[in-house]
Chains A and B, each alone.
Chain A
Amino acid sequence: MSANKLTAAEFHILLALADEDRHGLGIVDEVECRTDGEVLLGPGILYGSLKRMVEEGLVEEATERPDPEHDDPRRRYYHVTDRGSEALRAEASKWARVVEVALEKDILDKRAAT
């Protein structure tokens, strides 16, 4: 799998990690919240994807931990690598083009799209 071909789950995970490092549960919550519950990541898909993305060098386990008061040492935090950001940007711009086309063809309500 090359870096510029992301599965839907990987795309969502990268999006979730784009603004801050998160652990598995955090990713699940962020994705669910951002998609209004449309996308529910199951544990197998989530960790399967994370494992592959670590292997591909798209994300890495974060070395910095959050403030210890809120931290649980069992948790693993994930951080997007430069390569991951690049892949995310590529994928997002691909979707942006798709959205543009949809807007041009009046398929989408403009407010809904923005």
Chain B
Amino acid sequence: MRSERTDSLPWGQWLAERAYGLALHLYPRQFRRQYADDMKRVVRHRWRRSAPAGGFVASFRVWWLLLQDLGRSVPAERRAVRRQSRGARRRTDPKNDRGPLRGSERNPHVGSRRSSLAQWMSSIVADVRFALRGFRSAPGFTAISVLTLALGIGANTAIFSVVHGVVIRPLSFPGSSEIVRVAPGHWLSAQQVVGIGEQTNSYSATSAVGNSRFTLVEGDAAEVCTGAVVSPGHLEVFGVPPMLGRGFSEEDSLPDSEPVAMISHGLWTRAFSSDPEIVGRTVRLEGEGETVRTIVGVLAAGYEPFTFEADVLAPIVADVGTHEYEDNYRYWLLARLRSEISLGEARAELRTAIVNLAMGPERMFLSDTAEEMTVVTLHESRVGDVRGTMWLILAAVGVILLIACVNVANLMLARASARQREFAIRAAIGAGRRRMVRQTLSESILLGVIGGAVGLLAALVGQSGLLSILPADIPRTVDVGLDGQVLVFTLALSVLSGLAFGLVPALRLSTSLEPALRQDAAGTGTMGRTRHRLNFGLVVAEIALSVVLVAAAGLLVKSLWVLHRVEPGFAVERLYTLRLTPSLASHPEEEDLRLFYRQILEQVEGVPGVTEVGAINARPLTEGTLGVTISTDGSPVPDDVQPEMVSYRVVTPGYIEAMQIPLLAGRTLTDTDRADAVQVGMVNSELASWLWPDESAIGRQLAWSDGSPWFTVVGVIGNVHQNTLSAPPVPEVYVPYEQDAWLRTLYLMIRAEPDWGGLATVREAIRSVDRTVPISSASAMSELAGSSMATPRAYTLLFSLLALLALGLGAVGVSGVLSYTMSQRAHEIGVRLALGATRRDVVHTAMRSGLTPVAVGLALGLIAALATTRLVSGLLFGVTATDPAILAGVVAVLGGVGALAGLIPAMRSAKVDPARCLRGD
């Protein structure tokens, strides 16, 4: 990963190249030295060729080709070397010359190596068979191990498939690593877009994008479509030709050209019944100052250039010298890097360009931070925000797998002790240690693979459930699936887990086995020191790992609880809302539109059950914030006092009342605040305390910095959480809609009586004014408040599930280790009981020996938790990552679980019958 561009080297390719690098060692050294680099280059090339398809089949084909190639060429090259060296030996050493006609040389297929390979293969088969027989004879052990591993590997597979689909996999555009977002640190005007285009040379195509909305009117029906205005290079940036018709040309952007549009495949099928003759048709598509547009193209199916659904694309029309060209800061910039340009070069060039443009007529703002003036890959700009969280979740399930491995390692150890005599006998009659270690490892790897297969099935079944748990703001979840690379991941994980938990018992074999033979019967003595230490370590590890996960989950739960208690700033109950987007064609004039809104408000107010109604340009808890800069009392607010962003709200009289936002000073807006009256507005307490901390805000003068008329502050109202509950309230200005020119979209906020029938009656009332006006996003405000909590709730749910899993697995594991310890000490306990110890004493001793490792595990886990919980701090709200109450609670819970897990085996051990024990039954 040398340069930033290789960051996006697909994970599967990376793995394939590494694996192939290892496999090259199978070739004779000389051959490898001569050709390894060339061969790796061929592999990379092969992968690039097949991988754009990206699918399972494509990557499987590459793997299959490489495997076949290795299978055929490795034996051939090795044979060639042997032939050569034998030839050389025959020439130099006459003793070795046993005649020219030895069978194995004439026919390479019966070479001695060949038969040793066959031997090796058959011994592997024997190992597997032997292991399977062992599993059959110990069904309990096998079932528990497989289930434990299936849980661990299944959870990892499922989460990895998400991480892979969302974060790792390249975007599905041709050459997607070359598509970049040019981020100068702020929104751009058309003039600035042109300026950047002239000052830079890194891109083969660029596309400015301005988010937009259009209304498609067909007969009586009207539909609001999200979309964008784009510059002519748009399709070249993404490298995807339209399915029908053409993309935009330079002419389409000229001011007096015929208005055109491209539509998405989705809209084409939905609204135009996949009409193949659509290109050239003129439809009523209102928005961006036009009412009709000619459709020139239909975008390819699955073409999703933005994070939002773009059903309509229209060309940017901005004439040089107009307000639209110079002052409308609404564009962001996408581009395709020339293949020879690196991101670093593009970044350097962009900074120089911005410095140049800052002084020119483009008046480019220099951003304060270099990170904001940068060029990032589109992939990075899409998934950069969630990447950290995704890896964190993967790490959390990794911990689960570790706990599962510890559990199975313990089971294996118990089994290995029971089989110590078997191994001792096998060693005594001549089995090599290596052979026995291999046997043990084959068993554990086989167990891992079986567990992995079951886990894979579980992941397959559970994937849709997982996707429904995941927060809705995670991008690209449509790309999640179990493809070849996920399968490879699962296989690798299974084998690695098998190695991990098999290594401990296998290494135990390397200690001397003779004592096992000398003992009368296995398992009647006290435990060996090594075994004891191992048990201790396993319990410590399980408890410590569980503490970390449970602590993370605990913090998230508390954070969610805190969030639940946040007051949104208005009364959510019995509040309903919907959006109106009246068409430009039916209300072309401002005055006309105001009249229309007035009629609608009157009608809705008259609906039975509605107590209050108001309207706003941006609905709380869902709408983004439109920021403006302000001036006060005759002069612009100095930069150090100017709030970073003042949100601009346009409301109707009655809005404050309908929302039940508290009025702190002055008055609210009334019907008399019309266009011809004195310009007035309200501020929220955040802005009031910011601008006039110790004085009254009433009667103050405010204006937008762009030179719009002054208005007088007549009221101060409470703060409202405008974006999400977790984001703090921002400074806000509220102005009456009658005094504002641009209100093409309006959200009605309706307060109703209890047991109200719902929005259907409101729809009817609106239809009685205008049958065609599009109504959208109708819902109860309580639902919106709920969905604003959805993301934190989803993370909390996910981590809680993982913590429960860890807790369960940990408890089972600790209990298993302690039961085993107690059963090994049955003989000793019997002696103690015979010598007069009470059962209470026995339980007491057992608990003490069981709880010591639990306590050590808690302490270590607490340290680890203190060190790692700050990783989740980005997901927390109102809770610090080291919240003492939560950490104490976690210690208490896990201590309790540990104690309970120890108590059961301790109680059982005290029920030993000393007589039977001493007799050695």
Contact = CB atoms under 8 A, between A and B. Distances in A.
Is the pairing of A and B real?
A: yes
A47 B69 contact: no
A25 B66 CA distance: 15
Nearest to A27: B42
B45 A44 contact: no
Contacts, number: 57
B42 to A, nearest CB: 4
21 contacts: A28-B45, A40-B46, A40-B65, A42-B42, A43-B35, A43-B42, A43-B66, A44-B72, A44-B73, A44-B74, A44-B77, A45-B69, A45-B72, A46-B42, A47-B38, A47-B39, A48-B31, A48-B76, A48-B77, A51-B35, A74-B37
B27 interface: yes
A43 B35 CA distance: 9
B585 interface: no
Contacts of B73: 42, 44-45, 48
B43 interface: yes
Contact of A43 (B39, B76, B80): B39
A52 B39 contact: no
Contacts of B40: 43
B76 A76 contact: no
B68 interface: yes
Interface string A36-57: 0000101111111001100000
B78 to A, nearest CB: 11
Tell me which of A42, A45, A51 has the highest count of chain B C-beta atoms within 10 A of its own C-beta: A42
Nearest 10 pairs of A and B residues by beta carbon: A42-B69, A44-B73, A43-B39, A43-B42, A47-B35, A44-B69, A48-B73, A24-B38, A45-B73, A25-B45
Please report whether the interface of chain A is mostly helix, strand, loop or mixed according to DSSP: helix
B38 A76 contact: yes
Contacts of A51: 31, 34-35
Interface in B29-71: 31, 34-35, 37-43, 45-46, 65-66, 68-70
A57 B261 CA distance: 64
B16 to A, nearest CB: 12
Nearest to A72: B41
Contacts of B27: 44
Interface string A63-82: 00000000000111000000
A31 B31 CA distance: 23
Secondary structure of the B side of the interface? helix
Contact of A24 (B42, B70, B76): B42
Given A24-B38, A76-B38, A44 B46 contact: no
B499 to A, nearest CB: 27
Contact of A28 (B46, B66, B72): B46
Interface residues of B, number: 24
Interface of A: 24-25, 28, 40, 42-48, 51-52, 74-76
Contacts of B74: 44
Nearest to B68: A42
B69 A52 contact: no
Contact of B66 (A24, A42, A48): A42
Nearest to B62: A40
A44 B67 CA distance: 10
A46 B27 CA distance: 14
A52 B72 CA distance: 15
A24 B74 CA distance: 18
A45 B45 CA distance: 16
B41 A44 contact: no
Nearest to B43: A43
A43 B37 contact: no
A42 B70 CA distance: 8
Given A24-B38, A44-B39, A44-B73, 6 more contacts: A42-B66, A42-B72, A43-B43, A43-B46, A44-B69, A44-B77
A10 to B, nearest CB: 12
Interface of B: 27, 31, 34-35, 37-43, 45-46, 65-66, 68-70, 72-74, 76-77, 80
A69 B43 CA distance: 24
B620 to A, nearest CB: 58
Contacts of B72: 42, 44-45
Nearest to B42: A43
A25 B46 CA distance: 9
A29 to B, nearest CB: 8
A28 B34 contact: no
A73 to B, nearest CB: 12
A47 B27 CA distance: 12
B855 to A, nearest CB: 56
Contacts of A75: 38
A28 B37 contact: no
Nearest to B34: A51
Contacts of A47: 31, 34-35, 38-39
A53 B366 CA distance: 63
A28 B65 contact: no
Nearest to B71: A44
Nearest to A42: B69
Contacts of A46: 39, 42
Nearest to B72: A45
Please indicate which of the listed interface residues B38, B43, B68 has the most CB atoms of chain A within 10 Å of its own CB: B38
A46 to B, nearest CB: 7
Contacts of B35: 43, 47, 51
A68 B197 CA distance: 32
Contacts of B66: 42-43
A45 B165 CA distance: 34
A47 B34 CA distance: 9
A24 B36 CA distance: 12
A50 to B, nearest CB: 8
A51 B42 CA distance: 16
A24 B42 CA distance: 7
Nearest to B23: A44
Nearest to A76: B38
A42 B77 contact: no
A47 to B, nearest CB: 4
A25 B41 contact: yes
Contacts of A44: 27, 39, 69-70, 72-74, 77
B80 A28 contact: no
B468 to A, nearest CB: 40
- Residue of A42, A44, A46 ringed by the most chain B CB atoms within 10 A: A44
B47 to A, nearest CB: 11
Contacts of B42: 24-25, 28, 42-43, 46
A45 B75 CA distance: 11
B575 to A, nearest CB: 62
A45 B73 CA distance: 5
Nearest to A32: B49
A51 B46 CA distance: 21
A48 B65 CA distance: 16
A76 B37 CA distance: 11
Contacts of B80: 52
A109 B755 CA distance: 80
Nearest to B76: A48
A42 B65 contact: yes
Contacts of A48: 31, 73, 76-77
Contacts of B76: 48
A45 B42 CA distance: 11
Contacts of B41: 24-25
Contacts of B43: 43
B30 to A, nearest CB: 10
Contacts of A24: 38, 41-42
A89 to B, nearest CB: 26
Nearest to B20: A43
A51 to B, nearest CB: 7
Contacts of A45: 69, 72-73
Contacts of B37: 74
A38 to B, nearest CB: 13
A57 B66 CA distance: 27
Nearest to A40: B65
A44 B77 CA distance: 9
B107 to A, nearest CB: 15
Nearest to A29: B45
